[in-house]
């Protein structure tokens, strides 16, 4: 905020010019317009093997302010963890979830005015599961000549980035 005081002096010229009147005028210049902020597009990241989470470097927003560009900063608020301030590491790990995560960006100008935008980060399980089977499996027959082989007896450590949901076998 900038404040300017002006003193106005008025004289009466139709008389002897000695009568004056002074009036103070207060002019206040204030930034009442928030900055503008533009976020990037939504992000998709693939979960990695072992921990079913995806790591992403959150992008820097584009921010602008006509009145106070020298004091312009931003923060990033993920749905968990600490608030990320300008200059902090923007690398965040997101656990796999069925719904996207909302990330809120806030631009703050020198006058304390704020503007926000939001992006979404989606973690997908894009890595196909890896099936590992026993090299040799012995199936015994019962007295009726029938043998049973179960998927768990044939599996030798199959895995997926977000866990193996089910294992099935079939006769070829």
Which 3-state string (H, E, C) describes the chain?
Answer: CEEEEEEEEEECCCCCCCCEEEEEEEEEECCCCCCEEECCCCEEEECCCCCCEEEEECCCCEEECCCCHHHCEEEEECCCCCCEECCCCCEEEEECCCCCEEEEEEEECCCCCEEEEEEEEEEECCCCCECCECCCCCCCECCCCCECCCHHHHECCCECCCCCCCCCCCCC
Q: For 18-73, write each residue's pLDDT tens digit.
A: 667 888 888 888 778 899 999 999 999 998 867 889 999 999 999 999 877 778 99
Q: For 104-140, write each residue's pLDDT tens digit.
A: 999 999 888 899 999 999 999 888 888 888 888 888 8
């Amino acid at each position: 905020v900038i404040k300017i005081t002006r003193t106005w002096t008025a004289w009466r010229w139709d008389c002897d010019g000695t009568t004056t009147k002074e009036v103070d005028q207060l002019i206040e210049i204030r930034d009442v317009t928030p900055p503008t902020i533009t976020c990037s597009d939504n992000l998709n990241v693939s979960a990695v093997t072992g921990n079913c989470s995806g790591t992403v470097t959150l992008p820097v927003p584009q921010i602008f302010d006509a009145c106070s560009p020298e004091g312009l900063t931003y923060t990033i608020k993920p749905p968990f963890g600490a608030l990320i301030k300008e200059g902090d590491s923007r690398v965040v790990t997101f656990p796999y979830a069925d719904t996207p995560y909302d990330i809120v960006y806030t631009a703050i100008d020198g006058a304390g005015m704020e503007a926000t935008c939001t992006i979404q980060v989606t973690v997908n399980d894009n890595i196909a599961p890896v099936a590992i089977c026993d090299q040799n499996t012995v199936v015994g027959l019962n007295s009726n000549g029938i043998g049973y082989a179960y998927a768990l007896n044939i599996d030798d450590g199959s895995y997926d980035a977000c866990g193996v949901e089910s294992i099935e076998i079939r006769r070829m």
